[in-house]
Every structure is written in structure tokens, then in C-alpha cells.
Structure 1
């Protein structure tokens, strides 16, 4: 999506057309042992194991032929709505879409930048809960017809296919604006994008990637409220894209002769998980220009106090703990998304803070989600930004490789339509923020 110079923030998976293949290519990396357990997925967003031991996958879909709005593509493509969102189950080696007809909006005709079903979690009793995002105007609810509404958490009955709404996070942001700044979409209206959730007891904790906060709601639909707001950070000497002859700057980038010495970027939370200490941990993607090494993992105490648990990452998209207290996190890509680098990394953080990269590149691209299986393996999405080719990989955490250094390369555009998170921020009179 495109935003005016006065907009505060918004997030979507955005197709940015940059000069990737001819300039960068994908560098191979020695890999941990992995296998493909699901394939042919459309814009993978969330992964989780159910009480039956099956793997559940949310697919944001490929949009449809319904209402269209200006999309994020620099090629002028529209994002159009449909009901191609789905939940897929992998059970006993069989992959099957068990819930379909869910709302989806994506670039047409390519089907990239899908937004729709974002995450799925189960409570202690084994009941499933589905989060449907939407980085747009929460007052618009008339598309697609006969589909669940955007920006809400639903309790799901897989036997009947029925969904019961428990909380409307988009409308909450419209009414409350938890962090005190207007979040604007392409039409200048307030927007939010509930993106991931974790469940503790009878409460769901939901991160809103556009409003930059964590919200809570009871699993009975009661007491929807903002729990905490994630902190911004200031970046010195930021690196922005520099267009070549005949190329166009992204709308977020300042002209090359007006690059500020310091910018303030917002958080863009992307994942939520409870740790062995009972605290909530939240992964951060960071805002544009997606600086290398500036993404953080936050620890959120029971009183909402936020501290930085770990830093030095790039574009984190999810996280989860295993039974031994190891924290796993995934970098959507190892360099700012506007570079067109698809290589992603799966990283383990031991309880003593030791970091080990389990997989980097070599089959892991545009990683959007992860989960830890009952077998102790880590399951991570690959090519999660694209229609029809998304995968879920099973990674053996016992086979490890050295952690890669940050990727810093030539800043250039390319012509591969990669799909990635986009956080666009402006502050009036102060350039980018």
C-alpha cells in the first residue's frame, strides 16, 4: 500500500519490484538437515500444531475478482479482494485445505501480497482460534460478501466450518488509537493489522503490526483492551535505496540529496510467544528502511513493562520456545527487503543467550512463520510471500551451521516481484520516521 507523507504507519506484505536476479542472486549456505512437509501454499502466514498432532497452516490466499484498491506495487497493480484465504492441515503426511472461503486481498493478477488469515492457535482444551488481519480502513466491511470480517479473532469449529468473532481489533484501533498517533491507509483512514497471537489461560494476546501494540481479549470475547505499546527506536546514518537510471524511488524513501542523519522508526511486531518465565515475548520486523541488525525481541512482563530481551537481528517475522527453553526466531530475509535478497535465516537462542543459526538460505527464502513440533523439530515457512509455491520445512535443530554475518551489498533495484513486509512512516516536517 502507498501512504501519504503525513501517514504514521501501516503494514502489509508488499510487492516491491526491484532488480534482484541480475544483481544479487541467492548465495548458497551450508544447511541443517531439513525436509519439505507442505508445498504449493498461497502466502503462508501462520503455523501451529493442534492437539491431534497435526500441523495447521494459515494461507492468506491470492485475493480474487472482487473490490479492488490501489496496491503496493510500483508497477501500479491493484489489490483485489476475494475468498481465497484458507486453513490447511497436514495430518499423517496428507496435506488438505480444511477451511476455505476466508477473506483475502492480494495483488492482481499475480496473487502476491496476500492479506487474510494470519495466525492460528489452540487453547489448553484444544479449541482453535483464527486471526484474520487487514492493513486497511476498518470502517470498510462490505468486501468480500458472505465472508468473515477483517481484523478480527475467531473461535473456529472445524467440524461445521463456523467462526465466532471474539474481538474486532481494527475497530478498537479506530476508536482508541492506543499509541496516540494516527495510523493511515491509502485513503487517509485509520488502519490496523492484527498479525499474530499467543494464548495464556483464558486470554488471547494479539500483536497489531500497524498499530505497534499488543492487545488482549478474553476467549469468551470479553474485555478487549490494549495491553502495551511497543517502543520506537532512532537510527543514525540510515541507508536508503538509491535508484538507477530510469528507476523510481519507493514512496517511503527520501530523495538521495535529502537523506537525514537520524530517523525514528516504529516497531512492527510480528510474532508472540510465552516463555518459560511466564512473560510474553514479541518479535520485531522494524519499519522502513528495515535497517540491518536493528530488529529486536521484546520481553513483556505481566504488568505490560517492555524490555529488550535480544537485539541485532534483521526483519524478524516470528518466534517460539521449545520445551528446553530455547527460543527460535526467523529472519524474513537477511538484508533489507528492498535489496531483493530472499535468503532467510532460522536462529536458535539458548537459555544462556548463545545464538546458533540452524538454516540460512539454501532453500529457506522469505520466511514468514515458524513453530516447534511435538517431535522437537522446528517447522518454518519458506517462500511465504508468494502464491502457489509456499512451503513448510521441517528443520532438525541438532544440525547447526555458523551464524551468517549481516548482508550489506550494493543498493540497487531489480525486476523480481518479491513480496515482503512494508512499514511506512512519516512525520510532518521531519522527513522519515
Structure 2
């Protein structure tokens, strides 16, 4: 079965793997709202002007840098959202293609640090480093071709990490050694990047959920002592099958939490523990319906309690200050400001 990529055309790739799945109808359970903590006015929309956003990162000015996957015409982009909700395109022309299975291949997540944007291109397997230290409001968009990058995909494929060989660079974080660690959703692995030396290595491999279902690592953070990694899981995206893994600084992988569905990202919570995003609940009831149930995504804590439900295909959550978080919906094209 091919490895899943997160995009608005997600369902197309699923049908390619249907022959590997259990033929029984999958009864999907919508996320429970009974333990919701957040009131409606505590989840205000910062912007609803985004187009197929995938990842975001917040700088010291409170600006939110966002990747947009495009529509398949090599029109992936990076935009900046200011604290007042104004959106401006900063870089344009990143790879964006309609793949043979009908999904969009394009940008993954990005990470801001010290005036530099580290941008993942899952389609072409590249790690871009864009200097935005002197960027200011009103600057004209710059072409992606002007941004330096490191080719990651050839290395990943050379390591024979998946069958068939695949790579989909999805999310990244800095480790305690100052190096970048990339969650590759295609290779089911964490790739370590010594950016200064342009040196690449396989830091850890994420085990399959079972012999038929791949893990598909998505979000990754370092919490001060260990790495934590969310998993989407592969088709059929069964309810409760997604896990959070922990990885020691020496690369030892173990299960941290279980019982989630289609996880896409995570962040540390001010109250302790984590907040995670679930993309949505998947229903496989052919010929009636095959796909993600509308508004079935949610934000939950690592105990599984719903914090914010009824969301449309969530792909990122970032902590802005001790009790404020931004939640990114690729389905709705929004960033919500969440108080928790």
C-alpha cells in the first residue's frame, strides 16, 4: 500500500489501497463533545483567508508563517498572517502537482527560528531555508527558485526504509543538539539533518501499527527530554488506531499514548501534557460514502479528552503564549485562536 500524504484530495489514494483493507464496513465514531472545555467565544478566527494551508510557525512578533499546498499547478506558497489577521504572500511558485492517484503533492510544514524559515517540500523532497529577517510589510512576493535548499529525498530513498520506496517530508523540529529532525510520512522515519554540514542520517524508524497498516508519522516536537511524534496511520484510518510515540535522544522508539484517530500535530500544553490535532474521522461505506466525515476533526489533550470539536481537517496546532494556541484547518482555510 502506498504511504498516505495529507492533502485535500486525501481520499483518492485511499482507494488505491482498499484491496489491502478489511472488507467489512468501518463504523466510525464521531469525537465526543461531552468533555469540551472551550466555549465558542474562546475559539475566535484569526483568519479565514487561507487556501489549503498545511503548516504554521509563529515568530517573536506574533506573525504566523503558513505553508499553502496549492492546486497542482506548481503554485505552492508561503504566506504571513499578522496579528490583525491580514494575509500577505511572501514566497510563491513552490512545487504543487496533482499526483497519479488524484491527490495534491506539495509543501509540508515549516519552522521559524532566528529570522530563518525552514520549509519542507514533500513533493520534491527538499528542505528550504529562507532568510526573512529583514522581511517587512509590503515586500513583493519572492519566487521559490530564489530560496536555497537541501535535497533530502534521494538520501531517504537510498536507505530502503519503505516498500515501495517513498518519501514525504511533513514536519520538523530542532533537537537538543541544534540539528533538525524531520518526520517523513512516506518513509515512516525520522531524518536528522545537520544543516551546517548538510549531513543526513536516519535517526529513528516508526513501526507499523500492524502488519497491514503503516504508522505515517506526522507532527514532531522535542519536549526538553524526548521527541514526541504523532501518527496518522495508513488506510483505513480506523478510529482509535493512531498513536503518539516517544523517542529518546539516542533514537529508541516506544509508545507514549494510544487511542487516537488520524493525528496530524501536537504541542506542549501550559497545564502540562499535550494538545493534539485529529484530521478527522474516516468513513468507508461504499458505494454510499468513502471519505472524511465533515467537521469531524478535533483538538484533544493527551488523555483523549476533547478540547475543541467539530473542526474540518486540522493539520497543525501551535502554542503562542501560556494559554493561547493557534489551530490550523486545511479544510476551512482558517486559523483559530484557542484559549485553554
| Category of TM-score, reference length = shorter chain | 0.7 to 0.9
Unaligned runs of 5+ in 2: 15-27, 136-141, 285-289
What secondary structure, in the 3-state scheme, does the structure 2 residue paired with 1:291 have?
coil
The answer as to whether partners of 2:193 and 2:200 remain within 8 angstroms in 1 is: yes
Matches within 5 A, 1:87-126: 87-93=78-84, 94-106=86-98, 113-123=103-113, 125-126=114-115
When residues 15 and 228 of structure 1 are mapped into structure 2, their CA distance, relative to the original with a 3 A threshold, is closer
When residues 328 and 336 of structure 1 are mapped into structure 2, their CA distance, relative to the original with a 3 A threshold, is farther
What secondary structure, in the 3-state scheme, does the structure 2 residue paired with 1:41 have?
coil
**CA deviation profile, 1:20-49 (whole Å, cap 9, x unmatched):** xxxx9x999576321111223221110110
Instruction: Give the deviation of 1:322 after TM superposition.
Output: 3.5
* 1:164 counterpart residue number: 148
When residues 336 and 211 of structure 1 are mapped into structure 2, their CA distance, relative to the original with a 3 A threshold, is farther
* 1:320 counterpart residue number: 267
* 2:298 counterpart residue number: 345
Instruction: Give the deviation of 1:335 after TM superposition.
Output: 3.9
Pair member with larger Rg: 1
Does residue 360 of the first structure (1) align with residue 309 of the second (2)? yes
When residues 117 and 221 of structure 1 are mapped into structure 2, their CA distance, relative to the original with a 3 A threshold, is farther
Pick one of 7, 11, 17 that aligns with 2:5: 11
For residues 12 and 334 of structure 1, the distance between their equivalents in structure 2, rounded to whole angstroms, comes to: 14
The answer as to whether partners of 1:273 and 1:319 remain within 8 angstroms in 2 is: yes
Pick one of 191, 194, 205 that aligns with 1:229: 205
Pick one of 138, 144, 157 that aligns with 1:174: 157
Unaligned runs of 5+ in 1: 1-6, 19-23, 65-81, 135-149, 184-189, 235-262, 398-433
The answer as to whether partners of 1:49 and 1:373 remain within 8 angstroms in 2 is: yes
Across the aligned residues of Structure 1 and Structure 2, the Cα RMSD in angstroms comes to 2.7
* 2:17 counterpart residue number: none
Matches within 5 A, 1:334-413: 334-336=281-283, 338-342=290-294, 343-349=296-302, 354-361=303-310, 364-374=311-321, 376-382=323-329, 384-385=330-331, 389-397=332-340
Instruction: Give the deviation of 1:182 after TM superposition.
Output: 2.7
* 2:128 counterpart residue number: 154
What secondary structure, in the 3-state scheme, does the structure 1 residue paired with 2:48 have?
strand
What secondary structure, in the 3-state scheme, does the structure 1 residue paired with 2:157 have?
helix
For residues 109 and 326 of structure 2, the distance between their equivalents in structure 1, rounded to whole angstroms, comes to: 14
Higher normalized contact order (CA 8 Å, seq sep 6+, divided by chain length): 1
Instruction: Give the deviation of 1:283 after TM superposition.
Output: 0.2
When residues 212 and 326 of structure 1 are mapped into structure 2, their CA distance, relative to the original with a 3 A threshold, is same
When residues 316 and 28 of structure 1 are mapped into structure 2, their CA distance, relative to the original with a 3 A threshold, is closer
TM-score between both structures, scaled by the size of structure 1: 0.64
Instruction: Give the deviation of 1:318 after TM superposition.
Output: 0.7
Does residue 85 of the first structure (1) align with residue 83 of the second (2)? no
For residues 50 and 114 of structure 1, the distance between their equivalents in structure 2, rounded to whole angstroms, comes to: 28
TM-score between both structures, scaled by the size of structure 2: 0.80
For residues 204 and 31 of structure 2, the distance between their equivalents in structure 1, rounded to whole angstroms, comes to: 39
The answer as to whether partners of 1:61 and 1:106 remain within 8 angstroms in 2 is: no
